[in-house]
Amino acid sequence: MNEKRACACGSAPKLIFACSGAADVGAIADQAARQLTRDGSGKMYCLAGIGGRVSGIMATTASAAKILAIDGCPLNCAKHCLEQAGFTTYEHLQLTDLGMEKGKSSPTPEAIGRVVTAGAAKLAC
**% of the chain at pLDDT higher than 90:** 89
Predicted local distance difference test score (pLDDT) of residue 1: 35
pLDDT in tens, 7-44: 445 679 999 999 998 999 999 999 999 999 999 999 99
* pLDDT band at residue 125 using 50, 70 and 90 as cut-offs: confident
| Helix H or strand E encompassing 18 | strand 14-18
Predicted local distance difference test score (pLDDT) of residue 11: 79
pLDDT in tens, 56-71: 999 999 999 999 999 9
DSSP annotation string for 48-84? HHHHTT-HHHHHHHHT-SEEEEEESSTT-HHHHHHHH
| Helix H or strand E encompassing 110 | helix 109-123
